[in-house]
């Protein structure tokens, strides 16, 4: 009887404390109603091998779509490429650590993201580093620029959740150090890749993913953290443009390989409180991959290390 009373008191304290501390509430909910494990399979990280450099060629100036009243953008000096590679096409099945893939591009990695919500920039860093460019996340942030007219916030409407923010089709919106709603899109990031002489083309389906990987490209995509379920939302710009997105687990990763069962992902988020076992390289089966990617409107860029002619 005493034990039952003690357990009841502990439960009341936990419930009361969770009302005051949101983090405790999340942890308590996870204990009482655990979420299903993420649909990912951990893999050993494979580092890229040095590649034959190409002469540096400056791309044509990218025509950025102006965003009304964004913060000033200062274009950093374009660094010289080191070991800038030609695309490495995959002629056939490739064995990697005992697994067979139709295509596999070894990609660079690093220990975790630069900032709490800077995943788009960190995913881009993977691509630049793989293709021999030394460029920091801070330089990418500066080059992309931000639309600071609205710090993103949520409105719950009868039709669902709406996130009000800046124009993420041309810029970044939100404080990437504190605001979990902060984000951008591939249409904005495309000119960042092109600024450094890489070819970036939209890809929106499985066939495009497979074709890009076969020719040696890496694929920057928007998805959900760990490819887990999401709450759908609409992103609304100050001009009223609406974009389908996800509410709380927005993420960006790089697709580096595939076979008939699924894809291989490079994810520099690494272990966090939402998944202490999260690896830097993992497999995702096609079904959950396409579902989570589709929740982000199949937002993807196939990026090639091809010099502009």
Rounded (10°) angle between helices 186-195 and 137-144: 110
pLDDT at residue 36, rounded to an integer: 72
Render pLDDT for 222-269 as a digit per residue (tens, 0 to 9). Answer: 999 999 999 999 999 999 999 999 998 999 999 999 999 999 999 999
Render pLDDT for 13-60 as a digit per residue (tens, 0 to 9). Answer: 444 444 444 443 344 344 334 567 788 787 777 766 655 444 444 444
pLDDT at residue 93, rounded to an integer: 87
The answer to whether 183 touches 233, Cβ cutoff 8 Å, is no
Higher pLDDT, 65 or 220: 220
Least confident of 3-17, 155-169, 213-227: 3-17
pLDDT at residue 242, rounded to an integer: 96
Distance of alpha carbon 26 from alpha carbon 15, whole angstroms: 11
Say yes or no to pLDDT of 153 above 50. Answer: yes
What is the mean predicted confidence (pLDDT) over 60-64?
Answer: 41
Q: Strand runs (DSSP E) across the chain, as ranges?
A: 40-42, 94-96, 99-101, 103-104, 153-157, 160-164, 199-202, 218-224, 232-236, 242-246, 250-258, 262-266, 281-285, 300-304
**Mean pLDDT score across all residues of the chain:** 81
Domain limits, the chain: 1-34, 40-304
% of the chain surpassing 70 pLDDT: 73
pLDDT at residue 40, rounded to an integer: 73
pLDDT at residue 41, rounded to an integer: 81
Question: Considering the domain 40-304 in this protein, what is its CATH number?
Answer: 3.90.70.10
Residues 6+ apart with CB under 8 A from 182: 117, 152, 172, 173, 174, 175, 176
Say yes or no to pLDDT of 192 above 90. Answer: yes
């Amino acid at each position: 009887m005493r034990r039952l009373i003690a357990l009841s008191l502990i439960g009341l304290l936990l419930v009361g404390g969770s009302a005051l501390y949101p983090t405790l509430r999340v942890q308590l909910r996870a204990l009482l109603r655990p979420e299903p494990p993420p649909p990912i399979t951990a893999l050993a990280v494979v580092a890229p091998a040095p590649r034959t450099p190409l002469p540096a060629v400056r791309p044509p100036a990218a025509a950025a779509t102006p965003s009304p009243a964004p913060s000033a953008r200062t274009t950093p000096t374009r660094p010289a490429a080191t070991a800038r590679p030609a695309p490495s096409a995959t002629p056939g099945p490739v064995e990697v650590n005992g697994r067979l893939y139709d295509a596999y591009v070894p990609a660079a990695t690093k220990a975790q993201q630069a900032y709490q919500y800077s995943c788009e920039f960190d995913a881009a860093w993977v691509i630049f580093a793989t293709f021999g460019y030394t460029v920091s996340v801070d330089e990418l942030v500066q080059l992309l620029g931000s639309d600071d007219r609205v710090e993103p916030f949520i409105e719950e409407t009868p039709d669902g959740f709406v996130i009000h923010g800046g124009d993420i089709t041309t810029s970044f919106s939100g404080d990437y150090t504190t605001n979990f709603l902060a984000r951008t899109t591939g249409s904005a990031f495309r000119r960042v890749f092109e600024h450094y002489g890489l070819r970036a083309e939209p890809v929106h389906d499985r066939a495009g993913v497979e074709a890009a990987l076969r020719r040696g490209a890496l694929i920057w995509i928007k998805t959900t953290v760990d490819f887990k379920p999401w709450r759908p939302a609409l992103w609304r710009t100050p001009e009223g443009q609406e974009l389908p997105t996800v509410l709380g687990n927005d993420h960006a990763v790089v697709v580096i390989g595939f076979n008939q069962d699924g894809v291989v992902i490079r994810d520099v988020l690494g272990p966090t409180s939402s998944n202490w076992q999260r690896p830097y390289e993992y497999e995702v089966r096609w079904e959950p991959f396409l579902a989570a990617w589709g929740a982000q409107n199949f937002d993807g860029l196939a990026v090639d290390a091809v010099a502009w002619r």
